[in-house]
Amino acid sequence: DTGVSQNPRHKITKRGQNVTFRCDPISEHNRLYWYRQTLGQGPEFLTYFQNEAQLEKSRLLSDRFSAERPKGSFSTLEIQRTEQGDSAMYLCASSQGTAVFFGSGTQLSVL
């Protein structure tokens, strides 16, 4: 499979716990993005990397959220002290040129 890969597909956690998601982009794509999607809405931009540099963070990305992309390959998104409002689908995407390709997402449920 040469598409964008995300793990895990589903995550259930208790409020206050930390969670980490992983994204493996399409090989050689230098840009990687994180989005959040809640039910009935379109995806909302969170942050993006060009290679290993995090170039932009949305206002949606609170201090409890941190993303990394060491070595410019895979990326991780960590949410600390999760809240019920963090429940959403977290989508990763990558691009090399114009088109942006998405992974299947990680569905987070915070109880």
Binding site for another protein (CB under 8 A): 31, 33, 35, 37, 40-45, 48, 50, 55-56, 58, 89, 91, 93, 95, 98-105, 107
**22 vs 31 by CB, closer to another protein:** 31
Tokens of 77: 């998104």
**21 vs 35 by CB, closer to another protein:** 35
**58 vs 73 by CB, closer to another protein:** 58
In the bound complex, what is the minimum distance in angstroms from residue 92's beta carbon to another protein?
10
In the bound complex, what is the minimum distance in angstroms from residue 63's beta carbon to another protein?
19
**19 vs 88 by CB, closer to another protein:** 88
Helix H, strand E, coil C: the string for the chain is CCCCEEECCEEEECCCCCEEEEEECCCCCCEEEEEEECCCCCCEEEEEEECCEEEEECCCCCCCEEEECHHHCCEEEEECCCCHHHCEEEEEEEECCCCCEECCCEEEEEC
